[in-house]
Structure formats: C-alpha cells, structure tokens
Chain A
Amino acid sequence: MSNTKFKNPVVKWIDHRLPVFSFMDHELNHYPTPKNLNYFWNFGSLAGFALVTMIVTGIVLSMNYTAHVDYAFDSVERIMRDVNHGWLIRYIHMNGASFFFIVVYIHIFRGLYYGSYKAPRELLWILGVLILLLMMATAFMGYVLPWGQMSFWGATVITNLFSALPLVGESIVTWLWGGFSVDNSTLNRFFSLHFVLPFVIVGVVILHLVALHRFGSNNPIGIDIKGTQDTVPFSPYYTIKDLFGLSVFLSFFAAAVFFFPNFMGHPDNYIEANPMVTPAHIVPEWYFLPFYAILRAIPDKLGGVLFMFGAIAVLFVLPWLDRSSVRSSQFRPVYKIFFWILLLDCILLGYLGAMPAEGIYVILSRVATAYYFFHFLILFPLLPYIEKTKPLPISISEPILGGGSTASAFAMREKK
C-alpha cells in the first residue's frame, strides 16, 4: 500500500509501520456512504457521542463518589453542593443517561422502519441489541449508586425478578445481593460493574462499527449500493451532517441539563435509602417503563419475568422472524401501517408502566403486550405472504436524479 497520501513526514513514518492513519482515512474520510441518507441516520453517531459523554462524566464523578451505604447519599449531595462544578457534571451524567436512551430508541426504530436488520446486516443488528441490553444493565446499576429511596427499592424489585426462576431463584438473588437484602455488598458490586460495563459497551460498539463498515449503511430506500454513483465520501458530507445533528441534539441536551435537570428523574430519590419503608408508588426510570408494563401485565411471577425478557429476546431473532426481502417500509404499504402501530404500542406501554397497576391500566397493558408479541411473532413472519410490495427503484441514484438507469444517472453526473 502506498502512503503517498500523507504529506506530513511524521505521519508518513508512523503510518508505514502502524497504518492507523490509513485506517482512519479509509473508514472516516473516503468511506463510501449512500448519498440518500436522511436525518434518522444521525442517531448512530449521536449514540456514540452520548456514550463518550457518559464515560467522561462518569470517571469524573467516581473521583468524588463513595460506594458505601453510610456515605453514598451524602457523597452525591457533596458533589451537588461542594465539588467544583459537581452539579453540572452530575446533571450531565443523569440526563445523559436519558438522552442516550432517547437516541438509541430512535436509532432502533429507524432500523425497524428501514429494515436495517435484514441480510447481510443480521450480526450488526444483534450486536446492537446486545448494546441495548448492556446499556440497560449499566443504567439500572448506575441508578442504584446515589442510594436514594428509588435506588434502593428499584434495586430490590429488579434483583427480585430473578427469584421467579424455579429452584435456583432464591440462591441467585442471594448471590446477586451478597447477603439477604440489598446492602453494602450490593452497592459495592454495582459500583464496580457500573464502572466496567461501559467499557464492555465500547468494545461491542467497535464490533458494531466493524460489522457496519463491512457492507456500509443501509439507506431510506433499502436497496444495495450499485456503484460509486450511489455514494458520497463520508467526509465532508456526513461528518458535517453529523456535526449539524449533534449541535441540534446538544441544544436539547443543554436545555434539559440547565433548565429541567430533574424532569426525567424522581423526587423520591432525593430521600436517603430506608430499608424499612417502601415509597408509596415506585416506578423505574422512564426508559424501562414499557418493559415494566409488560412485567406487570402478566398475572404470574415467572411468566411476567419471561415475557419481559422475551420482549428483548425477540429483537435478537428479528432478522429471521421477518420473512420479507424488501427492506424499506417505503415499499411495504401494509407493514408501514403496522410499524406506526408498534411505535404507538410501545409509547402506550411506557405510559401504562408509569400508571398504577389497577383497573383499566391492567387491561390496556395486556392488550398492548399482546400486540407487541403479535407484531414480532406473527406479523413479521406471515405478512410477507399477503402483502403486495411496491416496485423497487433500480438504484439509489434513480429516484434522486429522476428516472433512467444507473448508467444514464452516472452519465449525467459525469457531464456536470
């Protein structure tokens, strides 16, 4: 490989021995990207940004945090009051978790709408679901660290999910706690895992990117790249677009951090953990609410837990559940409707998860849960046999450049 592309002699010397600059030039600069990506393709890089923000603020917070039941709550209050800029760093970390989930959920629904999980991107999708699972574990354990009432009772309820397992359930819960209730040992191990899991996420994100760059991004019309006429280099086109999206994202993020920092939190978590008193109405953080609603919809302990984990498990096998060879919903008129129903269903589940488990809310939770599993387990495999899809364009260039074959589209580009 020639490395004449670098003028700087130091860069050239290093690159000849350690081709990191060639690698970055290839993957971040020339990397051919479909030219028709819309703004929904910004959310991957936004998720990456959120991950880095969480790691940086998290490392800084850990320098001021004490993982001990007697000191944890006070050390967080000290961060808020005494540590220089501590309030800012903690509010960024707290709201960063919520924004990370917002971004990732949009990223996932983007994938669902445009069929980004279909061959040859199955592993890319599976790695993404794995990242979601790791994020959930990390977020849950992070929420325990401030040792407020919600931290404590959230930890108690979630760890007790495992007690639903037959035979080994109780032993597993005791093992998770390191005792007979959520206590100091639990707090210590959660702190340790909350620190290390983000770096595991970084590792899986790298695999996610390697898998992504194997075939490149999917695109709004969901057909493969036919040649260079269908792509633009990643830089400057998508670096600038990603940066613009980032600045919009940061405007919302800064608004939350500076003006509504506790909007997505729960006031009870500013009361120190008390193992003797459960708050009247305990709810998980908003990003777990749909899953929490599924848990409560099933009138059986083990069943509820299995359905809740099943809601994520179906995502792992989605590439094989969906039998349609057409990726983008733009060409699937029936699936498109069901996509929006699924989105509304998930939002409804989120709402129901926040409501008390009684009366109409329980019935609605059951209907919404039933639809969720119907969508994944019945609709995805069977719909393609009934649905008549619209004709696909010949190439990515065709709909943009207004008709003609790839060759003529290419010719038009050349003439310019």
Chain B
Amino acid sequence: MPKNSKSKKNNDGKRDFLIISTYAMAGIGAASVAWPLIDQMNPAADTLALASTEVDLSSLEEGQSITVTWRGKPVFVRHRTPEEIKLAKEVSLDEMRHPETDEERVSNEKFIVLVGVCTHLGCVPLGQKSGDVKGQYGGWFCPCHGSHYDHSGRIRKGPAPTNLEVPSYKFLSDNIIKIG
C-alpha cells in the first residue's frame, strides 16, 4: 500500500506537469495564430512609406498660411508677421495650461508648423484663411467646442488639454521643409 500511494503521488505530479505544459503550449499556439490576425490592422508597408511630406515655402508670403496633408491629417504652416512673433514670445507662461516657450515650438521663428488637429476631440481648428475666426488670442479657434489657440498654437482657453502638436520636421534648405 505505501508503495502504491507513493507512486500515485508521483503520477499526480507528472500529470500536473503534463496538463500545465499542454495548456501553456495551447496558449502559445493560440496567441501565435491570433497575432497575424490582429497585426494586419496596423498600418501596412505602403501606408508607412507615405509617412513623410516635403513642403516648399518659397511662395508663402508673410501673414499667409497653407495647409498640407501629412499621414492623412492637415498640417498648418504659417509665415508669421513680426507682431505675431513678438506676441508669441512675450506672453507669460504662468497663465498657460500647457506651458511651452515659443522657442521650443519653432526651429525658424518665422514659420510655425503645427498638426492642425484640435487636442480636444480631433476637429480641425479655423484660422488658416484670412476671413476665419481666429479666437481671442489671434491664432486658431476650434469651432467644435471652443478652444482658443495663440500665434504659437498653444492652448489658451477652452476644453483642449494640450497645445497643438508640433510634428517632427526639419529644414532641408532655407525654403523646403520635410515633415515626418
């Protein structure tokens, strides 16, 4: 009898090992099958290949803005006037929800480059055209829920939690920028 119960105990240990390792293998197998089915929804190779956009700024006069498409989203590029630059630089950061200096947000202070998507719920703010409502701070104004942005694209009033995003970009020459 003691011998029997001992061997039974050993068998139980083996059985647990077999069951746990079987479930573990089945789990790994199921996850490996599931992954391709999930990952196919991520951006495909051709979508990733379109991830950068070049913009020629030579015809953009002072006080004008253009909107370009980058990754399916609008990007605002504005050639700022000296007054706008002055206002953007002199304002105190204390009153801001998301304090950033203007220097942190531009590489050439004449040109501000922003992702034109309100950080509240994704609408495109007004302010690119000369006749647009630009909000209390003269930059951009989101008509959906009333967010006001200044000349540096910083949130100053309204529900948006953060400043308009600055995409990664660099100047390829004096007048050409590459976004992305």
Interface positions of A (Cβ within 8 A of B) = 56-57, 60, 63-64, 78, 81-86, 88-89
Closest Cβ of chain A to B15, distance in Å, is: 13
B40 in contact (CB, < 8 A): yes
B131 in contact (CB, < 8 A): no
Contact residue among B40, B44, B45, B46 (Cβ-Cβ distance under 8 Å from A60): B40
Which chain A residue lies CB-closest to B47? A82
Question: In the bound complex, do residue B44 and residue A83 qualify as a contact, i.e. CB atoms below 8 Å apart?
Answer: yes
Q: Is the interface of A mostly helix, strand, loop or mixed?
A: helix
Question: In the bound complex, do residue B36 and residue A85 qualify as a contact, i.e. CB atoms below 8 Å apart?
Answer: yes
Question: In the bound complex, do residue A86 and residue B46 qualify as a contact, i.e. CB atoms below 8 Å apart?
Answer: no
Contact residue among A64, A78, A81, A89 (Cβ-Cβ distance under 8 Å from B36): A89
Closest Cβ of chain A to B114, distance in Å, is: 30
Which chain B residue lies CB-closest to A88? B36
Q: Is the interface of B mostly helix, strand, loop or mixed?
A: helix
Q: Please report the total number of B residues contacting A with Cβ < 8 Å.
A: 11
Q: How far is the CA of A89 from the CA of B36 in the complex (A)?
A: 8
Cβ proximity bits B1-45 to A, threshold 8 Å, 1 near / 0 not? 000000000000000000000000000000000011101111011
Q: Which residues of A contact B35 (CB under 8 A)?
A: 85
Question: In the bound complex, do residue B37 and residue A63 qualify as a contact, i.e. CB atoms below 8 Å apart?
Answer: no
Q: Which residues of B contact A84 (CB under 8 A)?
A: 36, 39-40, 42, 44-45
Question: In the bound complex, do residue A78 and residue B46 qualify as a contact, i.e. CB atoms below 8 Å apart?
Answer: yes
- Number of A-B residue pairs having CB atoms within 8 Å of each other in the complex: 36
Question: In the bound complex, do residue B44 and residue A82 qualify as a contact, i.e. CB atoms below 8 Å apart?
Answer: yes
Question: In the bound complex, do residue B37 and residue A60 qualify as a contact, i.e. CB atoms below 8 Å apart?
Answer: yes
Closest Cβ of chain B to A258, distance in Å, is: 13
Closest Cβ of chain B to A50, distance in Å, is: 15
Q: How far is the CA of A84 from the CA of B45 in the complex (A)?
A: 7
Question: In the bound complex, do residue B44 and residue A78 qualify as a contact, i.e. CB atoms below 8 Å apart?
Answer: yes
Q: How far is the CA of A83 from the CA of B35 in the complex (A)?
A: 13
List of 7 A-B pairs having minimum Cβ-Cβ separation, nearest first: A85-B36, A82-B45, A82-B44, A82-B46, A83-B44, A84-B39, A84-B40
Q: Which residues of A contact B42 (CB under 8 A)?
A: 84
Which chain B residue lies CB-closest to A86? B40
Q: How far is the CA of A83 from the CA of B42 in the complex (A)?
A: 8
13 chain-A/chain-B pairs, Cβ below 8 angstroms: A56-B37, A57-B37, A60-B37, A64-B44, A81-B46, A82-B44, A82-B47, A84-B40, A85-B35, A85-B36, A86-B40, A86-B44, A89-B40
Q: How far is the CA of A88 from the CA of B35 in the complex (A)?
A: 12
Known: A82-B46, A85-B37. 17 other contacts (CB 8 A): A57-B37, A60-B37, A60-B40, A63-B40, A64-B40, A64-B44, A78-B46, A81-B46, A83-B40, A83-B44, A83-B45, A84-B40, A84-B44, A85-B39, A85-B40, A86-B40, A89-B37
